[in-house]
Structures are given as C-alpha cells and as structure tokens.
Amino acid sequence: MLDKSVPYAGLFMRREAGEGKPSYELPEGFQFAFFSDGSEADWARIEASVLEFDGEFAALMFFKRTFIPHIDELYRRCVFVETSDGVKVATTTAWWSDSYEVRKPWIMWVAVDPKYQGLGLGRAIIARATVLMIELEGDLPIYLRTQTWSHKAIGIYQTYGYFPTAEKSLYSDSSDNYRKAMRILKRLNR
C-alpha cells in the first residue's frame, strides 16, 4: 500500500540490458495467470486496494482507456498472481511506451492486495514481468515508474536490477523530481 505519510515525488527506474533473466518462485498455493476477459475488474480491485486510484471505478475507467484498445496485447502482457481458488491478488503489466524518442519496454502498475503483502508475491511478479519483457521485447533496458510513496517497493525493484535514473527525457517537468525523490529516499534510509 502506498505510504502517503512521506512527501511525494515521482521516480523513474531502469534495468540495464544484459542483466539476464531473474529467477522467481511463488509461495505454495499461488500461481501466475494472464489477463482473460473480465480480468479488468480484478485489476481495478487490486490497484484500488493499494490506493493507486480513488476507487475501483476510477481504476477500471483508466484500464479501459489505456489497455483495452490493445486487448490482444493484454492477453500476453498483463500478469496476475492468483490463489489456488483463482482469486487474483497481485498484478503488473509488461507494456511499452512510444511517448519518448523510441519505443521503450515498461513494467507498469505493480500492485499486491494488502491482505497478501509480505508473502513474496511482489518479488515474484516483478521477476516474472521482467522475464516476460525480455521474451517479448528482447534484451533491452527496461523502465518502470514509481514514487516515493512506494519506497518499500523500490527496494524490491533494486533486487531485480532496477535503479533510479536521472534520464532527462523521462522527466517532463522542470521541478527536478529525480533529485527530490532521491532526497526523500535518503531520509528514509534507502
């Protein structure tokens, strides 16, 4: 869940090419699943549970605007962790962005339902999405966007080779979010 008790600053992270495919294991009783028709409601529920959106409806509308136009890609890029009963409890998407100079691979919208945090599901889904991204896009640098409110997740990202980047082309504002984020994280002993 987001820690909104700390100041907010957006932060981009980058994993270099050539790092190899990370290994991952899910705890017993969990398995990976890809997006299937109707999974958008699960995505919205999970993302809202970690306070990324002001409710499930807002999350669902975002999902429909952003991902449904590329429905065929969702089936192979949107990953969930589900319980043995089929309840989806974590998600991320191995996506891309064309909004910079060239197409870049992005890990997007990582979330684990708070009731299931602390079980290693976040680590497993990040590793799985990284492997998936390498398989889909090739061994290229992979990006993700996070924020200081996700400072606990930043440590997990770093274990899989994602590190803060100050690439100017990523930060569209002039407020120097990178430096602000790094100051906040330093205060939090990151």
Q: Domain map of the chain by residue range? A: 10-187
Global pTM reads: 0.91
Band (pLDDT 50/70/90 cuts) for residue 24 is: confident
Is residue 145 predicted with pLDDT exceeding 50?
yes
Q: Is 7 helix (H, G, I), strand (E, B) or coil?
A: coil
Band (pLDDT 50/70/90 cuts) for residue 131 is: very high
Is residue 173 predicted with pLDDT exceeding 70?
no
Residue 168 confidence (pLDDT): 78
Is residue 98 predicted with pLDDT exceeding 70?
no
Q: How many CB atoms lie within 10 A of CB 165?
A: 17
Band (pLDDT 50/70/90 cuts) for residue 99 is: low
**Superfamily for domain range 10-187:** Gcn5-related N-acetyltransferase (GNAT) (3.40.630.30)
Residues in the chain: 190
Band (pLDDT 50/70/90 cuts) for residue 190 is: very low
Is residue 106 predicted with pLDDT exceeding 50?
yes
Lowest mean pLDDT among 56-65, 136-145, 165-174: 165-174
Identity (one letter) of the amino acid at 60? Answer: L
Q: How many CB atoms lie within 10 A of CB 142?
A: 24
Alpha-carbon gap, residue 32 to 62, rounded angstroms: 23
Residue 183 confidence (pLDDT): 92
8 Å CB contact between 145 and 11: yes
Band (pLDDT 50/70/90 cuts) for residue 22 is: very high
Is residue 59 predicted with pLDDT exceeding 50?
yes
